[in-house]
Amino acid sequence: MTTPIVDGASDRPGTGEARPASPVPAVELRGITKRFGSVVACDRVDLTVERGEIHGLLGQNGAGKSTLMKILLGLITPDAGQIVINGHPVVVKDPLAAAAIGVAMVHQHFSVIPALTVWENVTLGETGRLDPRRAAREVEEIGARYGLDVDPQARVADLTTGQRQRVEIVKCLRRNPDILILDEPTSVLTLAESQDLFRVLRRVVQDEGRAVVLISHKLDEILHATDRVTIMRNGAVVSRVTTGETDARSLAREMVGREVSLRTQAAALGLISEAESAARVGAAGDPGERADVVLRVVDAHVRGPDGRRLLDGLSLDVRRGEILGLAGVEGNGQATLGQLLSSLVELEAGHVEVAGRRVACGRPGAMARAGVAVIPEDRHDSGCVLDMSVAENLVLDHLDAVSSRVLVNPRRMREHAAALIERFEIKTPSPDVPMRSLSGGNQQRVLLARELSRSPRVLVALQPTHGLDVGAIEYMTNQIRAAAERGVGVLLVSTELEEVLALSHRVAVIHGGRIMGVLPRAEADLERIGMMMGGRPL
């Protein structure tokens, strides 16, 4: 199913009829470079945004989009490079300085305060005398001018997400910025709300000659709402195109990179060899093995506390002995899927089966009892108890292994811990030190040891190598492979496409809380994956 963001062709920006650009661009970033330790977030990035245009900034997680915009907003100081606003070089020390030169940003996570009213939020942070009546009138005026209808006296807590975002935009527009930046603005919006938003943005650039930068990973909205696109990958600009002259396919290809380079990188890390991957694909490529499905999620719907659809009809099957890689841009439902499989959320509709049996979702420990092991994305959240000992953390959810009906046997707990510490090469001064004192990599090993030691049917690994060094990554990937070889069905959830492609037998892509499509590894080319990551179903 396609999801056109803007309906009629009339709303569609024709690049030919775009307003003539003024000779001086609104923003010019020249050679912006920013390193965090050994990671280069932005590598000599050049970006030019003209007045009167909506400029798309497209890229995956970690491509450097947000860092670049935070530099423009004065939240991050660049290591090198120059910012030129309306032809004048400037230094943006902090967000106040950015506001002074006319740069405003609507962040992905709203900064409105629910307990306050709309006009209070809009004037928040301003100094000097406050005139409530004038502020309310201004909110109404801006609303009328841009079609951002919102009651200035309403409490933000009572508004929908879409309306909250309007408040954010009104707040920005009231300061009369020349450059308006929106970071993934539609990730919290419904389809209709997104269409409204783009209509407003069009008005902002066309009638008033402002510049808008739209940060996004969604191909459709980039195609329908922008005039020009800059595509970033791994901290560098890889392509600049006029929206009218490109299509989803080439955008997707540019966004995720070329297949050759990916293979080379994976091989360099020792994660994959061509022959090996071909053999693996052959082994698990047959879709006829229905009986062997160990984990089946059917039409799962989950809504967040704010009413957002976190999972929206997600269905997937994981078979015995295979690694199903789940690719996708962060924030598309991966975290909720992880919580679902950790018994932390209840389903609104749909169900989950483990080895053919339905599991009572959301009942404490139900998934663990059914044989689902989870390596969570944030190990400090549901993965371990930092204030308990390493030995205790090794038996959190299968106390039966070391206890009678009432009492825990300390001797058996110590033996159990010693065995796992040896088998998984966990570096700890003693099994009795608190989990907190271990390094991140070793905490991760404790989790892995615990989850694998109770012979699970399914292993769910969420971002299992995130933040680990090369050695730890190799260890983790070997363990995941070995588990699959032992017959465990592995669901590998990762935003790093290299990882998914290097390890998986089949590749699924998640977008907007549902699966866009599943491909055998051999057919999973980057173009198709990129399209699905951008929200185009297979």
User: Which residues of the chain form contacts with other proteins (CB under 8 A)?
Assistant: 30-31, 34, 36-39, 41, 77-83, 89-92, 342-344, 364-369, 374, 381-388, 392, 396-397, 399, 403, 405-408, 410, 428-429, 433-434, 436-443, 466-469
Shortest separation between residue 427's beta carbon and other proteins, angstroms: 9
The 211-216 sheet, strands edge to edge: 103-106, 179-183, 211-216, 54-58, 228-233, 236-242
Q: How far apart are CA 293 and CA 308, in angstroms?
A: 30
Full strand arrangement of the beta sheet holding 372-375? 372-375, 458-462, 489-493, 323-327, 506-511, 514-520
Q: Strand pairing partners for 68?
A: none
**Does an H or E element contain 232, and which?**
strand 228-233
d(CA 132, CA 275): 70
Smallest gap, in angstroms, from Cβ of residue 297 to other proteins? 17
- What is the Cα–Cα distance from 266 to 268, expressed in whole angstroms? 5
Between residues 3 and 265, which has the closer beta carbon with respect to other proteins?
265
CB of 292 to other proteins, least distance (A): 26
User: What is the nearest approach in angstroms of other proteins to the Cβ of residue 183?
Assistant: 17
- In angstroms, the CA 18 to CA 202 distance is 11
Three-state helix/strand/coil letters over 275-299: HHHHHHHHHHCCCCCHHHEEEEEEE
> Looking at beta carbons only, is 398 or 536 nearer to other proteins?
398
Q: What is the distance between the alpha carbons of residues 413 and 436, in angstroms, rounded to a whole number? A: 19
Structure tokens at 80: 């090198």
Distances from the Cα of 55 to the Cα of 75, 179, 321, angstroms = 21, 11, 46
Nearer to other proteins, 248 or 468 (CB): 468
Minimum CB separation of residue 529 from other proteins in Å reads 23
Nearer to other proteins, 24 or 433 (CB): 433
Least separation in angstroms between residue 425's CB and other proteins is 16
Query: How far does Cα 57 stand from its chain's mean position?
Result: 16
Nearer to other proteins, 210 or 379 (CB): 379
CB 139 within 8 A of CB 150: yes
Shortest distance (Å) from residue 266 CB to other proteins: 17
CB nearer other proteins, residue 270 or residue 365:
365
Q: Which is nearer to other proteins, 226 or 442 (CB)?
A: 442
Q: Pick the closer one to other proteins by CB: 160 or 382.
A: 382
Q: Identify the residue whose tokens are 């915009």.
A: 69
Sheet holding 309-319, edge to edge: 309-319, 293-303, 349-354, 357-358
Retrieve residue 63's tokens: 């491509």
CB of 30 to other proteins, least distance (A): 8
Least Å from the CB of residue 54 to other proteins: 26
Closer to other proteins by Cβ: residue 222 or 491: 491
In Å, what is the CA distance from 390 to each residue of 319, 427, 445?
32, 11, 11
